[in-house]
Structure 1
């Protein structure tokens, strides 16, 4: 599905495929150390062949993943989101997100989160959980988007465990795309400040 972004561009949200392995490795190389740390909760400068095999070869039932790509450059991944169902609790799944730094604040993460929620409901999942570093407010907010409001947060020192109970409203990604077409947004102030700081450092 094509989803408008807050900077005036558009992202294509689609299921990940085995053929995305090389693109996923290139995407990982674009991520800053902080973004990698927020996604994996540790340093991970490269994805191994085993990593990409696991991340791209999903079954679409118990392991679901979607990517956001640039429609003008479909080989360029902008973000990835996935969930994996708990074997002992089939109504629950663990979710994770990552968006390339230059696109953070443009609405890519929200689109991926809502796409995950839609796919979860279609497959009988009613709760999505995640473990994240305590200062990773971006991911916590994505769980709030999936829940349509408050989430349960268990604070455990340097990490938080978050649970989002999904609203029984299918088709939320299509509704989001329609709203954005009617009311184009802008990049968040956080993204503007980050982009300005990096530009100043690069100069």
Structure 2
């Protein structure tokens, strides 16, 4: 796995530093970037459905990114932010739903990663299984992000004030890591994926 869990740089956040990261904007940018990756996976799904050429290495690169960054930075930051939202707005049911969805996304990412490993190691995998896992993965990721964008992010704007975000910047220091793909600090192994990312057809 080329990304691993080695992060290049941490944002230095403290409540008195005026240039602390805009955390909500960061979460929104992460969603935009993940949407691009899901569009790339959707294009591969279309190739599978029509019997076209499928780039399994690119698909694996996307899964590696999701495991190394989304699950070790993006979702942990969201979990911390949502706990504060739940406390401020008495929305424990919503936060519990999101925590559970994050766990579920981790499980389906691992399962699909295992399937792709089989394919890349020339083990037989039924095409119907591959298509179903890929389509379910895309659907669940998109549904989760859509719920956050349409329901949760507006609530964050409504209930959390500047002091909350300042405290959250402190609490999330370890989780606020540099994006290993959508930045200049990127490894050679994923140049093909990055080339696809630059393709305007994958940007919503």
- Could you state the TM-score of these two structures normalised by the residue count of structure 2? 0.28
Structure with the larger helix share: 2
Highest RCO, 1 vs 2 (Cα 8 Å, sep ≥ 6): 2
- Could you state the TM-score of these two structures normalised by the residue count of structure 1? 0.28
Structure with the larger strand share: 1
